[in-house]
């Protein structure tokens, strides 16, 4: 069904990984190596000292280095290629433009309000069914289960911390660490996690299907609203005119990838690898033939 293909296009062809991050995966691996090396060489310092300043310094180093070494080049790349940067509102408008172009291509015509209404209703029913079994919904609806898991973990941590440390100095350090840690978590969540790629990654891990469905429905509603209200969201058509080549290339790459589509991820990746090996073999044969011809 078309809504299945549209959802898969949004999840895969328009994912932040496909549009931006995958072009910098080597840089991400280098950054991870640097972080692990930093933690490894300073393990004894962190292990033997419970200084809050060390924890804060390590956390700041991690986020600052990730921003400068990884995210800054990604932002520059998306700005030059798509004329927008995530999580700016323009990024959502760009995705709406790509969805509108893809819809037009699939139905061989212009987007109409009736077709979008049907798609939205179908996707909303699927989202309702998926949300009943999602991970985050299960946790939020079962507070008792969450506390039952958290309390033993907290108790074990306290036992480990106070083992052979009964003087008032260590108690004070412990209380200071807990308070500073709580403020640090809140600060990191507000500044670094909300409306950033980290937030997207966390949502993808825990609630991929529900999150993507909700986001896709929101963008389809924007497109539907813009049909009868061209004054609003006029940037969609502007992106279609300005980034026509880039959007068509994204759709073309997805169509090639969709030829190997399968519901089972393992089968899908097996087909993709098989197709890549086949293409590689064909390219070698094409290169060899002219060479042999010249020899003769």
Residue-level pLDDT at 295: 42
Asked if the peptide bond before residue 243 counts as cis, ω within 30 degrees of 0, the response is no
Residue-level pLDDT at 41: 74
Question: What are the tokens at 237?
Answer: 């058509």
Question: What are the tokens at 40?
Answer: 């490894």
Where exactly are the structural domains of the chain?
Answer: 2-140+165-258, 269-296
Q: pLDDT tens, 39-60? A: 777 666 555 555 556 666 777 7
SS3 195: coil
More confident position, 233 or 43:
233
What does 156-222 look like in DSSP terms, one character per residue? HHHHHHHTT--SHHHHHHHHHHHHHHHHHHHHHIIIIITTSHHHHHHHHHHHHHHHHHHHHHHHHHH
Question: What are the tokens at 275?
Answer: 């197709």
d(CA 268, CA 273): 9
Q: What is the DSSP letter of 22?
A: G
For residue 18, count other CB atoms closer than 10 A to its CB.
16
The model's pTM: 0.70
Q: In sequence order, which residues have a C-beta less than 8 Å from that of residue 176 and are 6 or more positions away?
A: 52
Q: pLDDT tens, 179-191? A: 666 666 655 655 5
Place of tokens 């179908």: 122
Question: What are the tokens at 86?
Answer: 């995530």
């Amino acid at each position: 069904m078309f809504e299945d293909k549209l959802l898969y296009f949004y999840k895969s062809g328009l994912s932040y990984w496909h549009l931006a991050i995958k072009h910098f995966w080597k840089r991400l691996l280098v950054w991870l190596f640097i972080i692990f090396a930093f933690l490894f060489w300073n393990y004894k310092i962190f292990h033997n000292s419970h200084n809050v300043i060390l924890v804060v310094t390590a956390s700041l180093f991690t986020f600052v280095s990730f921003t400068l070494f990884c995210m800054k080049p990604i932002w520059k790349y998306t700005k030059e290629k798509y004329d927008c940067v995530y999580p700016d509102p323009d990024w959502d408008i760009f995705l709406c433009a790509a969805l509108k172009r893809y819809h037009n291509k699939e139905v061989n015509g212009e987007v109409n309000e009736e077709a979008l209404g049907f798609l939205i209703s179908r996707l909303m029913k699927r989202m309702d069914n998926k949300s009943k079994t999602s991970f985050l919904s299960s946790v939020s609806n079962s507070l008792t289960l969450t506390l039952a898991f958290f309390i033993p973990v907290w108790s074990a941590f306290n036992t480990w911390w106070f083992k052979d440390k009964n003087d008032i100095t260590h108690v004070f350090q412990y209380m200071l660490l807990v308070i500073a840690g709580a403020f640090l978590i809140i600060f990191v969540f507000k500044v670094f996690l909300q409306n950033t790629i980290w937030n997207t990654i966390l949502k993808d891990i825990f609630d991929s299907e529900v999150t993507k469905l909700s986001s896709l429905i929101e963008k389809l509603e924007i497109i539907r609203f813009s049909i009868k209200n061209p004054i609003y969201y006029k940037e969609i058509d502007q992106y279609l005119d300005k980034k026509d080549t880039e959007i068509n290339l994204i759709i073309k790459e997805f169509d090639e990838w969709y030829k190997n589509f399968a519901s089972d991820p393992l089968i899908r990746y097996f087909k993709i690898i098989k197709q890549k090996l086949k293409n590689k073999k064909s390219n070698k044969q094409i290169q060899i033939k002219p060479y042999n011809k010249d020899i003769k």
